[in-house]
C-alpha cells in the first residue's frame, strides 16, 4: 500500500513538469508583455526599456527563461505580482484560507443533504418523497451554479435579507473576536449552501440506487429473518456497504470544488483563489495567474491520486499493483 | 403494400420481419412522454432562435439612450436592458449563439473523441498507450481555468463564437475518447470483426463500417449530454465576461448584467428570461439524453 502510494506520488512529477511547460508557454502566448509591470511606465525611452528587458532576462532564449521560472517555482519563488507589487506566493497564501473554508463548508453541506435524501429515497423508493427528490436532482443538474447563485442572492440577500452577498467578513470587525468568526460563518453560508446543494444530485442518486440494490441482497434478508429492526438494517448493515463507493468521490471533489469556486466566488465577490485568478487574468498579472494555474493543476492531480488510493483502502478487493 | 397485409391476414403463421434495433429504439423513445416533450421544446427553441432575424426586426446592436431599462410593455415584451436594447430580441439572438456553441462543440468533441478512441481501441499496443497517455494528460487540466486562459489567448485572433467552440472542444474530448475506446475494445473481440479482417478489409473500413455503427448508441447518448455540458460551460464563461465577445448576445452574456446589484434587485426582466431559458434548455437536453439512453438500451423494458 505504502509502496503503491509512493510510486503514484512519484509518477506525478513528470506530469507536473509537462503541465508546467504548457502553463509557461500559454503565459508566453498571452497578449501583452508579462514583464511590463517591472518596468517604470513613465519612462518611455526605448533604450531604458531594452536595458530593463535585458536585465530581467526577457531577451534570453525561451528555454532558458522556462528553466529559470521552474527553478524558482520549485524553491517557492512564484514571481512578483505586477498589480500588488508583492510576491505572488504571499498574495495567494492570503487568499487560500478563504477558498478552503468555503470548499470545506460546502462539502459538509453536500454530504449532509446527500445522505439525508439518498437514504430516504433508497429506503422508500418509488414513493412521493423519492419522486420529489428525483425531481430536485434533475433540477440541480440542470441549473448552472451561477444561475442558482444569482437567484439565491435575489431571494435570500435582497428580498429576505438573511445573508450578506459580498465579502468574506463584515466591515470593521476586529480579527480574532467571537463576532469576527460569526461574521465569517455568516458570509460563507450562502455560497457554501449553493455550491453544496448543487453538488448533491449525483451523490444522492448514487446512494439511492446502491441502497436499493443492497437491500435485495442475502445479508439483508438474513438480518430481517433474525428480527433486526428495520432502522438498524438500513442505518448499519446497508449504509456501511453503500458508503464505500461514495468515499472515493472525495478525491475528485477536491478539484471540482476549487475550480467551481471561480464562479461562486465571483458571484458573491468572495475574496478567494478563484476571484484572484479571474482578476489576474483580467489585469494581466502573469505571476499570479501562472501560480494559480499550477496550483489548481496540482490539486486536480492530487485529487485523482487520493481517489485512487481511497479505492484501495476502502475496498480491499481492488489490487493496487 | 396491401398485398402483403392480405397475405399476413390470410396466413398468420408467416414470420413477420422483426424490426431493426433503430426502429425499436425510435418506438421506445416516442413512447417516453418526458423525452418527447423535451425534444419538441428544444426543436421550437432551435427554430425560433435560428429564425431570429425574420421574427423580430428590432436592432440588437444599437444603443438607445431614450429607452434604457424600460419594464416590459406591449412594445418591448420583455422590457429593455441597461443599454436600451430590446430584451426579447436579444433573447432570440442569444439562443442562437448559445445553441451554436453547444452544437458546434458537440460535433467537434464527438469527432475528435471518436477518432482517438476508435483508433486507440482498435489498434491497441503502442498506439493505444500513446494516445491514452495524451488523453489522460488533457483530462488533467482543470477545465474552467484552462478555458479562461486559452480563451484570453485566442480571443481577437479567431472571430466570435469560434474561439469558444475550439477552446471547449480541445479541453473536453478526453472523456468521449475513453468511453469509445472501452466500447471498441469489447466490440472488436466479436467474430464479425475477425471475419472482416480475414477477407482483407482495410482497418479504416472496419472501424467506420463495422465498429462505429455498433458503438453509435453510446456515442449518441454521450453527445446529447455533452451538448448540455458545453452550453453550461459557454454561459458560465460568458457570465464571467470571458466567453462570447460582449457584442454578441448569449444567455450567459445577458446574465452578466445581473452582476450589477441594482439590476439583480429591481430589474427582474433583464435576468430572469435568460436564466429560465438556460435552465429549461439544459433540463430538456438532459431528459432527451435519458430518453435516448433508455431507448437505445436493448435490456430496458418499456
User: Residues A130-168: pLDDT tens digits?
Assistant: 999 999 998 888 888 888 888 888 888 887 878 777 777
Using a CB–CB cut-off of 8 Å, the residues of B that contact A are 137, 140-146, 148-150, 152-153, 156, 228, 232, 235-236, 239-240, 242, 255, 258-259, 261, 264-265, 271, 275, 278-279, 282-283, 286-287
Chain B residues with CB-CB distance to A141 below 8 A: 282, 286
What residues have CB less than 8 Å from B14, skipping those under 6 apart? Answer: B7, B8
- Say yes or no for a CB contact (<8 Å) between B265 and A158: yes
Using a CB–CB cut-off of 8 Å, the residues of A that contact B are 15, 18-19, 22, 26, 29-31, 138-139, 141-147, 150-151, 153-154, 158, 165, 255, 258-260, 262-263, 266-267, 277-278, 281, 289, 292-293, 296-297, 299-301, 304
Residue pointed to by grid coordinates 470483426: B193
The C-alpha cell at A23 is: 502553463
**pLDDT, tens digit only, all 302 positions of chain B:** 445 555 555 555 667 778 888 888 888 888 888 899 999 999 999 998 888 777 776 666 666 666 776 777 767 667 777 776 778 888 888 888 899 999 999 999 999 999 999 999 999 889 999 999 899 888 888 888 888 888 888 876 776 788 889 999 999 999 999 999 999 998 888 899 999 999 999 999 999 999 998 899 889 999 998 999 999 999 998 888 888 887 788 888 888 887 777 777 777 888 888 899 999 999 999 999 989 988 888 777 65
Instruction: Let me know: does A154 contact B275? Beta carbons within 8 Å.
Output: no
CA distance B233 to B168: 8
CA of B108 vs chain A CAs: smallest distance (Å): 22
- Say yes or no for a CB contact (<8 Å) between A301 and B140: yes
Which residue of A lies nearest to B150 if distances are taken between CA atoms?
Answer: A26
Q: Which residues pair with A87 in a beta bridge?
A: A80
- Say yes or no for a CB contact (<8 Å) between B282 and A300: no
Nearest to B142 among A139, A259, A267 (CB): A259
What residues have CB less than 8 Å from B207, skipping those under 6 apart? Answer: B118, B119, B122
Mean pLDDT score, A24-30 = 82
What residues have CB less than 8 Å from B267, skipping those under 6 apart? Answer: B69, B71, B79
- Say yes or no for a CB contact (<8 Å) between A144 and B236: yes
Q: Within 13 Å and on the Cβ side, how many CA atoms surround B67?
A: 18
Least confident of A209-218, A242-251, B9-18: B9-18
CA distance A290 to A284: 11
pLDDT at residue B110, rounded to an integer: 95
- Say yes or no for a CB contact (<8 Å) between A296 and B142: yes
- What is the count of residue pairs from A and B with beta carbons less than 8 Å apart? 105
Torsion of CA A134, A140, A143, A148, to 10 degrees: 140
Number of C-beta neighbours around residue B186 at 10 A = 10
The C-alpha cell at B91 is: 433573447
- Say yes or no for a CB contact (<8 Å) between A293 and B145: yes
Q: Is the pLDDT of residue A41 over 90?
A: no
CA distance A222 to A209: 21
Cα A296 to its chain centre, rounded Å, is 8
The C-alpha cell at B280 is: 429549461
Query: At A53, is the pLDDT very low, low, confident or very high (cuts 50, 70, 90)?
Result: low
Residue to mutate among B132, B140, B277, with most A CBs inside 10 A, is B140
Give the sign of the dihedral formed by CA B282, CA B287, CA B290, CA B295: negative
pLDDT at residue A29, rounded to an integer: 80
- Say yes or no for a CB contact (<8 Å) between A147 and B279: yes
Cα B17 to its chain centre, rounded Å, is 35
User: What pTM did the predictor assign?
Assistant: 0.85
CA distance B244 to B253: 7
What is the DSSP track for A88-155?
Answer: HHHHHHHHHHHHHHHHHHHHHHHHHHHHHHHHHHHHSTTSHHHHHHHHHHHHHHHS-HHHHHHHHIII
Q: Within 13 Å and on the Cβ side, how many CA atoms surround B75?
A: 7
Which residue of B lies nearest to A280 if distances are taken between CA atoms?
Answer: B149
Q: Is the pLDDT of residue A301 over 70?
A: yes
Higher local confidence (pLDDT), B179 or A180: B179
pLDDT at residue B198, rounded to an integer: 93
Instruction: Let me know: does B227 contact B285? Beta carbons within 8 Å.
Output: yes
CA distance B168 to B230: 7
pLDDT at residue A290, rounded to an integer: 86
What residues have CB less than 8 Å from A274, skipping those under 6 apart? Answer: A99, A258, A259, A261, A262, A263, A264, A265, A266
Amino acid at each position: 500500500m505504502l509502496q503503491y502510494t509512493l510510486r503514484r506520488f512519484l509518477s506525478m512529477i513528470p506530469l507536473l513538469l509537462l503541465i508546467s511547460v504548457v502553463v509557461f508557454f500559454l503565459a508566453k502566448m498571452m497578449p501583452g508583455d508579462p514583464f511590463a509591470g517591472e518596468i517604470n511606465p513613465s519612462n518611455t525611452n526605448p533604450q531604458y526599456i531594452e536595458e530593463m528587458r535585458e536585465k530581467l532576462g526577457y531577451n534570453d532564449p525561451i528555454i532558458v527563461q522556462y528553466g529559470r521560472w521552474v527553478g524558482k517555482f520549485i524553491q517557492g519563488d512564484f514571481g512578483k505580482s505586477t498589480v500588488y507589487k508583492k510576491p505572488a506566493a504571499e498574495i495567494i497564501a492570503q487568499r487560500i484560507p478563504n477558498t478552503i473554508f468555503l470548499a470545506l463548508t460546502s462539502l459538509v453541506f453536500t454530504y449532509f443533504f446527500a445522505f439525508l435524501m439518498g437514504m430516504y429515497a433508497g429506503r422508500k423508493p418509488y414513493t412521493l418523497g423519492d419522486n420529489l427528490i428525483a425531481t430536485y436532482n434533475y433540477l440541480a443538474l440542470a441549473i448552472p451554479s451561477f444561475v442558482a447563485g444569482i437567484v439565491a442572492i435575489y431571494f435570500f440577500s435582497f428580498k429576505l435579507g438573511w445573508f450578506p452577498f459580498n465579502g468574506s467578513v463584515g466591515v470593521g470587525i476586529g480579527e480574532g473576536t467571537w463576532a469576527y468568526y460569526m461574521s465569517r460563518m455568516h458570509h460563507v453560508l450562502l455560497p457554501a449552501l449553493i455550491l453544496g446543494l448543487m453538488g448533491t444530485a449525483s451523490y444522492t442518486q448514487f446512494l439511492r440506487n446502491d441502497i436499493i440494490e443492497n437491500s435485495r441482497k442475502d445479508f439483508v434478508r438474513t438480518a430481517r429473518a433474525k428480527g433486526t429492526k428495520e432502522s438498524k438494517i438500513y442505518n448499519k448493515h446497508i449504509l456501511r456497504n453503500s458508503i464505500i463507493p461514495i468515499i472515493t468521490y472525495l478525491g475528485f471533489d477536491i478539484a471540482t470544488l476549487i475550480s467551481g469556486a471561480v464562479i461562486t466566488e465571483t458571484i458573491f465577490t468572495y475574496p478567494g483563489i478563484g476571484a484572484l485568478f479571474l482578476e489576474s487574468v483580467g489585469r494581466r498579472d502573469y505571476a499570479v495567474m501562472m501560480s494559480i494555474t499550477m496550483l489548481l493543476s496540482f490539486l486536480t492531480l492530487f485529487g485523482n491520486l487520493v481517489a485512487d488510493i481511497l479505492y484501495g483502502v476502502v475496498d480491499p478487493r481492488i489490487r493496487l499493483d | 403494400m396491401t398485398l402483403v397485409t392480405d397475405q399476413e391476414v390470410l396466413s398468420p403463421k408467416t414470420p413477420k420481419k422483426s424490426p431493426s434495433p433503430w426502429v425499436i429504439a425510435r418506438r421506445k423513445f416516442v413512447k417516453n412522454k418526458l423525452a418527447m416533450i423535451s425534444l419538441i421544446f428544444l426543436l421550437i427553441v432551435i427554430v425560433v432562435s435560428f429564425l431570429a432575424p425574420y421574427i423580430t426586426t428590432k436592432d440588437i446592436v444599437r444603443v438607445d439612450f431614450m429607452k434604457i431599462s424600460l419594464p416590459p410593455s406591449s412594445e418591448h415584451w420583455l422590457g429593455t436592458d441597461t443599454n436600451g436594447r430590446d430584451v426579447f430580441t436579444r433573447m432570440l439572438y442569444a439562443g442562437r449563439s448559445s445553441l451554436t456553441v453547444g452544437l458546434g462543440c458537440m460535433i467537434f468533441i464527438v469527432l475528435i473523441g471518436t477518432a482517438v478512441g476508435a483508433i486507440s481501441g482498435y489498434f491497441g499496443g503502442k498506439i493505444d498507450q500513446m494516445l491514452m497517455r495524451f488523453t489522460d494528460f488533457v483530462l488533467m487540466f482543470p477545465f474552467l481555468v484552462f478555458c479562461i486562459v486559452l480563451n484570453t489567448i485566442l480571443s481577437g485572433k479567431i472571430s466570435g463564437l469560434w474561439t469558444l467552440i475550439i477552446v471547449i472542444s480541445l479541453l473536453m474530448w478526453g472523456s468521449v475518447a475513453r468511453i469509445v475506446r472501452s466500447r471498441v475494445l469489447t466490440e472488436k473481440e466479436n467474430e464479425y470483426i475477425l471475419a472482416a479482417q480475414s477477407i482483407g478489409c482495410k482497418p479504416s473500413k472496419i472501424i467506420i463500417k463495422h465498429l462505429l455503427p455498433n458503438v453509435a448508441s453510446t456515442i449518441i447518448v454521450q453527445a446529447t449530454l455533452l451538448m448540455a455540458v458545453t452550453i453550461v460551460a459557454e454561459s458560465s464563461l460568458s457570465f464571467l465576461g470571458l466567453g462570447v465577445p460582449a457584442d454578441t448576445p448569449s444567455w450567459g452574456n445577458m446574465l452578466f448584467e445581473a452582476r450589477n446589484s441594482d439590476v439583480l434587485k429591481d430589474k427582474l426582466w433583464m435576468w430572469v428570461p435568460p436564466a429560465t431559458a438556460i435552465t429549461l434548455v439544459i433540463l430538456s437536453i438532459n431528459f432527451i439524453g435519458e430518453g435516448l439512453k433508455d431507448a437505445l438500451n436493448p435490456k430496458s423494458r418499456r
